[in-house]
Structure 1
Amino acid sequence: MQINVLKFGGTSMADHKTWKKVLEIIKNYEWPVVVVSATARTTRQLVKAAQLAASGDLEGAFEISESIKQRHQDIVDNFLQENPHAKNDLIRESCFKNMDAKIGKLNKLLTYTSRQGKLSPQMKDAISAMGEQISSYLLAQCGLSLGMMTQHIEARRLIKTDNEYGKANPNKMLISQHCGSLETVLENGFTPIIGGFYGEAPDKTITTLGFEGSDYSASLIGGAVGAETIEIWTDVSGVYTGDPRFIPEAKPLAEISYFDATEMAYFGAKVLHPSTLKPAQERNIPVYVKNMFKPEDAGTKIVREADHDLPVLALSFKQNMSLLTVSAHETLMGFSFLPKVFSVLESYRLPVDAVNTTEASVTIAISDDVILDQLSKDFIEIGSVSIERGKGLLTLIGCSVQTASNFRNLLLEPLSDLNIDMISFTKEKRIFNLVIDDEELLPSAQKIHRTLFS
């Protein structure tokens, strides 16, 4: 049995017309396992509702809850109206019954949050996972109106994690054990439809895998069932040399390695979740990034080894960054100072995007968020701390040594009028980083892309 794991998210789950496209794509596979995200905007709405409830505005939270319900009911109504089937009345009844139950549970969670007066990480996960629970069930039911044998499978039965709410770590051994049931579903002629993004902790509470975690869910399931391919269906035709939303002349890459694709995701490319490729790489499963609106396009194939003769493979950038510098107290030597700095980062499970060190100081580029102030307080025990906000990180992926050594012509001349705060190059990883002012990030990325890829 050659299983294909297909993941659909974002704009592919926007409305009844895109749902129809999703189901038509699924029909082309003999043994598909389908993972879907929430419908467009739903997860953000759920988080907003949770925040309103925690702040005491339960009425505002309920208004969002009702709007989510109404939007999904409209999708189902429109889908069934355009795709007549003898069982559509039963399908609609089943959809609306499930919707009432989910929204009822959501409202209970919002009420509890309001009474607590705060939004705990556990409650945030329970609320934000509602989107995938709703969309996966409704899509499976809509598939029945097309004569497909689609079957909803609750993700909590498959995706087992620890209780690190918000960024849970999967238990791959348990996931492999539970995903064995999918082969039975397929052998019986059914197509499983599973919600991505969330799973279940050992105490049966809901956890989430992080923002855009539906990709990760698909890869975990693909690895567990030994899939022939894992396919990420989105609204672009693969992984591009730059973000096509901001760099119109960016071009799709035919093939890249797991390593380079992971680095691109880590440094700001929005196509994939940074952890997506780990399970696929462990089982050497090719991952395809495809365009559901142009399914005939080849897309990008991600494999273990991929050859290219480009001086730079791609460009990524991250906005809303900060430079945090910690300078050691005079009593601390370098061999004890640096471990203390990185121990603090480890305690927050914070990734460092770029770093520059001396014996007595370290400067790190890090995402600017609410945790930064608390982080700086912890660093005060180690040394003096300074923070420069309003920075951006521009990263070149797959940068050859020759290109890096020639950075004056390729990089610095196009950016000669800018103040560059940090430069770093890693020969082994072929990663070249520049930290500049955030307001100059996008025009600088566009200039560099034209220089490298025109």
Structure 2
Amino acid sequence: MNINVLKFGGTSMNDHQTWKRVLDIIRSYEYPVVVVSATARTTRKLLEAGKLAAGGDLTGAKKIAEEIYDRHYELVKNFLDENPHKKNQLILESCDKKLDEKTGLLKKYLDYTAKTGSLEPKMSDAIASIGEQISSYLLAQCGLALDILTQHIEAKKLIKTDHQYGSANPNRMLISQKCGSLETVLESGFTPVIGGFYGEAPDGTTTTLGFEGSDYSASLIGAGVHARTIEIWTDVSGVYTSDPRHIDHARPIAEMSYYDATEMAYFGAKVLHPSTLKPAQERNIPVLVKNIFEADAPGTQIIRESHTNRKVLAMSFKQNMTLVTVSAYETLMGYSFLTKVFAALEDLHLPVDAVNTTEASVTLAIADSPKLDQLTKNLIAFGSVEIESEKGLISLIGCKIAEMKKLNEQIFSSIGETTVDMITFTKDKRILSLVVNENDLIPTAQGIHDQVF
């Protein structure tokens, strides 16, 4: 059985017209397994409601719940109006009942949050996952209006995780076991539709896989069913040389390796979740990134090994970065000092994007986090600490070592008078990173892209 796992993101799930495109794409596959995100902006709205409830504005929080109900009901009604079918009244009633159930559950969560006065990680995950629970059920129902035998499958039956709320770690072995049930559904002639992003901890509570985690869900399920391909359907035609929303003349990349795609995602590319590719890579499953508005366009194929003649494969960038510089006290030098710095980072689970070290000091580029205040307090015990906020990180991925001299010349000629706070290069990873002021980030990235690509 040649199974294709198809994941559709928030922009693909935006309105009734994109739902029609999504379902037409699904119809073109023999054995598709479908994973969907929440409709565009719904997850952000859900988390906003949770924060309002925690802050005492329960009325405002519940207003958002009502808006989510109204938006989804209108979406389904518009879809059914434009796609007449004898079952449409039953489909609308079923969708309305599910919306009542899920928004009612959301309101209970908001009541609890308002009562406790805080948005606990467990409750945040329960609230955030409502969007995918709604969208997956409604899309499966709308498929019936097009005579597609779509069947909603509850994600918690498949995606098993630990208790790390907000960024749960999947139990890969258990997920593979549970995914066997999907083949039974396919063999019966039905197309499974599953909500991405969330799963279930051992005690039955809801967990999430991190922001944009629906990609990860698709990859985990793809590995579990030994899929022929895992396809990420979005609103751009593949992975680009840089973010086309900000960088003029960014171009799609026809093919790239799992490794380079993962590095792009980690260093800020928005097309893929950073953890997406690991399950696919372990099973050697090609990952395709495609555009629902140009379904016949080739997009980008991500495979085990890929070769390019470019000096640089791609460029990613991140906003909201902070530089932390720690200088050792005279009584603490060398490896002992560096060991303590990185132990402090590990204790707070703070990842570092770029690092520059000497024997007596270290500079770290870290994404803004509420934990930075605590990190600073911990680091003061063995060194003076300087914090520089409002920084941006530019990373050139897949640099060719033989071209580094020419590449450096192009980069620095494009930068001009822009202040560069830190430069790092990793030969093995072929990544060159620069830290600049956040206000200079996009213009600097555009200049580099114009020169290098």
TM-score normalised over the length of structure 1: 0.99
Matched, 1:124 2:124: yes
Question: Which residue does 2:216 correspond to in 1?
Answer: 216
- 1:87-113 per-position Cα deviation (integer Å, ceiling 9, x unaligned): 111111111001100000000000000
Q: Give the match's secondary structure for 2:364.
A: strand
For the residues of structure 1 that align with 2:379 and 2:107, how far apart are their CA atoms? 41
Q: Structure 1: any 5+ residue segments left out of the alignment?
A: none
Cα RMSD between the aligned structures? 0.9
Deviation at 1:408, TM superposition (A): 4.0
Matched, 1:290 2:306: no
- 1:340-373 per-position Cα deviation (integer Å, ceiling 9, x unaligned): 2112212222221100011111110011132211
Question: Which residue does 1:181 correspond to in 2?
Answer: 181
For the residues of structure 2 that align with 1:42 and 1:243, how far apart are their CA atoms? 23
For the residues of structure 1 that align with 2:347 and 2:286, how far apart are their CA atoms? 34
For the residues of structure 1 that align with 2:224 and 2:236, how far apart are their CA atoms? 27
Matched, 1:139 2:128: no
Question: Which residue does 1:405 correspond to in 2?
Answer: 405
Give the conservation status (yes or no) of the 8 Å contact 1:323–1:365.
Answer: yes
How many pairs were matched up? 453
Paired residue type of 1:372 = L
1:67-106 aligned at under 5 Å gives the runs 67-106=67-106
Matched, 1:207 2:207: yes
- 1:195-228 per-position Cα deviation (integer Å, ceiling 9, x unaligned): 0000001111000000000000000000111000
Question: Which residue does 1:417 correspond to in 2?
Answer: 417
1:18-417 aligned at under 5 Å gives the runs 18-417=18-417
Q: Give the match's secondary structure for 2:18.
A: helix
Q: Give the match's secondary structure for 1:413.
A: helix
Give the conservation status (yes or no) of the 8 Å contact 2:248–2:446.
Answer: no
Deviation at 1:241, TM superposition (A): 0.6
Deviation at 1:407, TM superposition (A): 4.1
For the residues of structure 2 that align with 1:131 and 1:91, how far apart are their CA atoms? 19
Give the conservation status (yes or no) of the 8 Å contact 1:199–1:208.
Answer: yes
Give the conservation status (yes or no) of the 8 Å contact 2:407–2:452.
Answer: no
Give the conservation status (yes or no) of the 8 Å contact 1:19–1:139.
Answer: yes
Paired residue type of 1:139 = L
Q: Structure 2: any 5+ residue segments left out of the alignment?
A: none
For the residues of structure 2 that align with 1:378 and 1:403, how far apart are their CA atoms? 41
Give the conservation status (yes or no) of the 8 Å contact 2:167–2:208.
Answer: yes
Q: Give the match's secondary structure for 1:12.
A: coil
Give the conservation status (yes or no) of the 8 Å contact 1:404–1:432.
Answer: no
Identity %: 66
Q: Give the match's secondary structure for 1:311.
A: coil
For the residues of structure 1 that align with 2:429 and 2:23, how far apart are their CA atoms? 39
- 1:386-415 per-position Cα deviation (integer Å, ceiling 9, x unaligned): 100111101100011133333442111111
- 1:24-46 per-position Cα deviation (integer Å, ceiling 9, x unaligned): 00001100000000000100000
Give the conservation status (yes or no) of the 8 Å contact 1:165–1:207.
Answer: yes
Q: Give the match's secondary structure for 1:414.
A: helix
For the residues of structure 2 that align with 1:201 and 1:403, how far apart are their CA atoms? 48
Q: Give the match's secondary structure for 2:119.
A: coil
- 1:246-298 per-position Cα deviation (integer Å, ceiling 9, x unaligned): 11201101000000000000111100000000000000000000000000110
**Larger displacement relative to structure 2 (145-154 or 378-387):** 378-387
For the residues of structure 1 that align with 2:201 and 2:403, how far apart are their CA atoms? 46
Paired residue type of 2:222 = G
For the residues of structure 1 that align with 2:196 and 2:154, how far apart are their CA atoms? 10
1:7-18 aligned at under 5 Å gives the runs 7-18=7-18
- 1:28-73 per-position Cα deviation (integer Å, ceiling 9, x unaligned): 1100000000000100000000000000000000000000000000
TM-score normalised over the length of structure 2: 0.99
Give the conservation status (yes or no) of the 8 Å contact 1:132–1:197.
Answer: yes
For the residues of structure 2 that align with 1:347 and 1:29, how far apart are their CA atoms? 47
Give the conservation status (yes or no) of the 8 Å contact 1:232–1:289.
Answer: yes
**Larger displacement relative to structure 2 (219-228 or 331-340):** 331-340
Q: Give the match's secondary structure for 1:338.
A: helix
For the residues of structure 2 that align with 1:378 and 1:52, how far apart are their CA atoms? 32
For the residues of structure 1 that align with 2:413 and 2:150, how far apart are their CA atoms? 56
Q: Give the match's secondary structure for 1:406.
A: helix
Deviation at 1:445, TM superposition (A): 0.6
